[in-house]
Amino acid sequence: MAEHIDPAPDPIPEAPTPESIDPAVVVPETDDSLAPPPESAALFPSLDPAPQPPPALPPELGTEDPMALFRPGAHDAPSPEPFSPVPAVTPPPTSGPHLPDPRWPQSWSPPIERVTPVPEPAPTAEPTPRRRWPTALLGLAAGFLGALVAVGAMWGFGVFDDASTAETSEAAPPTTVIERVVTEVVNPNADGTTLAAAVGRKVTPSIVTVEFGTDSAAGFTVVASGSGVVVSADGLVVTNEHVVADSDGFDARVVLSDGRVFPFEIVGEDALTDLAVIQVPATGLTPVDLGSTRDLSVGDVAIAIGNPLGLAGGPSLTVGVISAFNREVNPGFNASDRLFGMLQTDAPFTSGSSGGALVDGAGRLIGITTAVGVAEAGSGDVGFATPVELMTRITDEIIETGDVKHAFLGITGRDQLDRLDDGSLQPAGAVVITSEPDTAAERFGLQPGDVIVGFDDNEVRTMQDLVIGLRHYRVGTPVDFHINRDGTVETIVVELGERPEGL
């Protein structure tokens, strides 16, 4: 409770206090020598929430005007010296008869709401901190707590809500939730299995066994066997030409990976690329996924799946890597038996695996296992597979027409070797030695001495590059040949002819 300093010179008599009522505030005895100037009392307003009676009127102002205390000049009277603290005024009791205050006329009651006069400017002399700091701290704390309560109340009643945001939210159209579809790539090792096991589960249903033999009352006697790869759900199977060659006079059948047995018919075959297509009278088969060799590198995983040695019990699987690209292989005794552009792998496969699948680490077909190079000395054999791009080109035409016609340029040639500054020789194209009569080369103006350095988007550094590349084209396809003629590179469009029989 704040102390009020009466500017009147006469002392104010203390209101009588009944013995049963304790004073609300007891002001301790104070050393008068430490008393602050009288004006300092107004600097610290009361922290006591209980209402207090107005101060006594000075004698010179009279008692007839109860608001005289708050009129200008009411406090101009000089304060007596020395200063003596005024005893606390006892508030009226909460019950029982109201005890009158002798300082106030009975006809006037204290106002319900307290009126706090505007404090006068602080005096030049600083108040003694020993008496006033606790009250100042309490005032600051009370003010801070009061501010927090007020802000909390305002927040609770939504004073700080953003009206524009609320209007925008109300005006916003309803949101339509669309189902999100997430595509995940399954890691073959996620369930603890190996890569080969995961690939095997995926590819094995697409592998078949091709058998030739005799069928009698005693059962089917196998004479020769190979492998095949399902390329369509309605029973088209790709295998090697040498698997189905010379099969006349034998009974033929296909054994699926689930053990079902079907007869088959040969749709067509091509000895130049050692590929063939057969038809199985079945539906709902599992075709293999086709991959690509263009994005592969030496050292990438290569998995072979087939039926080596015609063993019963379903396909077998071996794991290796891609060892090399564009190998030239001669599995026969004639020059026409040469195979170009073959994939080399160390994944083991042997007799009976011909016509099987060579797949990448994702289980996509990258080649048809075709030949095995048997090492006379060393640690093992080398396998070769026909690339999937060449397989697709040949088998598509077989399925469409039952036969294959191969494109033909009509030149003889050799590798062009350029000598470098360091004295070494470097392949730089395929040089034309002769342009055969009645061929595409002669009709479109290729001349001896021309160096073919490319065609379409393919680079040519050797004759083998030219032969491998042209096998992917059909007869009658126009091709842009880039030739170096007398030091000038020019382009000649050549429409490819058909390869003659016997070449």
Q: Which of 190, 240, 37 is nearest to 122 (CA)?
A: 37
Residue 12 pLDDT exceeds 90: no
DSSP 20: T
Residue 166: pLDDT band with limits 50, 70, 90: very low
Question: What is the fold of 301-400?
Answer: Thrombin, subunit H (2.40.10)
**What does the pLDDT read at residue 143?**
61
pLDDT in tens, 84-124: 444 444 455 544 444 444 454 444 444 444 444 444 555 55
Residue 434 pLDDT exceeds 60: yes
The CA distances from residue 402 to 226, 267, 275, 375, in Å, are 21, 6, 12, 37
Query: In 288-444, which ranges are continuous DSSP H helix?
Result: 388-401, 440-443
Angle among Cα 276, 381, 222 to the nearest 5 degrees reads 45
The CA distances from residue 212 to 187, 227, 261, 306, 443, in Å, are 40, 12, 13, 16, 47
Question: How many angstroms separate the CA atoms of 129 and 36, rounded?
Answer: 10
**What does the pLDDT read at residue 439?**
94
Lowest mean pLDDT among 149-163, 345-359, 380-394: 149-163
Residue 448 pLDDT exceeds 80: yes
Question: How many angstroms separate the CA atoms of 309 and 350, rounded?
Answer: 7
3-class secondary structure, 171: helix
Residue 153 pLDDT exceeds 50: yes
- As annotated, the active-site residues are 242, 274, 354
Q: Please indicate whether the domains covering 195-279 and 301-400 agree at the CATH topology level.
A: yes
At position 402, the amino acid (one-letter code) is G
Would you say 370 and 347 are in contact if contact means Cβ atoms under 8 Å apart?
no
- Average pLDDT score over the chain: 75
The CATH architecture of the domain made up of 195-279 is: Beta Barrel (2.40)
At position 500, the amino acid (one-letter code) is P
* Phi, psi angles (nearest 5°) of residue 390: -70, -40
Extents of the domains making up the chain: 1-127, 195-279, 301-400, 407-498
**What does the pLDDT read at residue 379?**
54
Instruction: Report residue 137 as tokens.
Output: 């701290």
The percent of residues above 90 in pLDDT, for the chain, comes to 49
Percent helix, strand, coil in the chain, to 5, is 20, 25, 55
pLDDT in tens, 209-226: 999 999 888 888 888 899
Neighbours of 341 (CB within 10 A): 22
Q: Which CATH number fits domain 407-498: 2.30.42.10, 3.40.50.150, 3.40.50.1820, 3.30.950.10?
A: 2.30.42.10
Instruction: Report residue 218 as tokens.
Output: 């005693």
Q: What is the mean pLDDT of residues 176-192?
A: 46
Residue with token string 């080109």: 393
Please, what sign has the CA dihedral across residues 78, 80, 81, 85?
negative
Question: How many angstroms separate the CA atoms of 235 and 358, rounded?
Answer: 20
Residue 441 pLDDT exceeds 90: yes
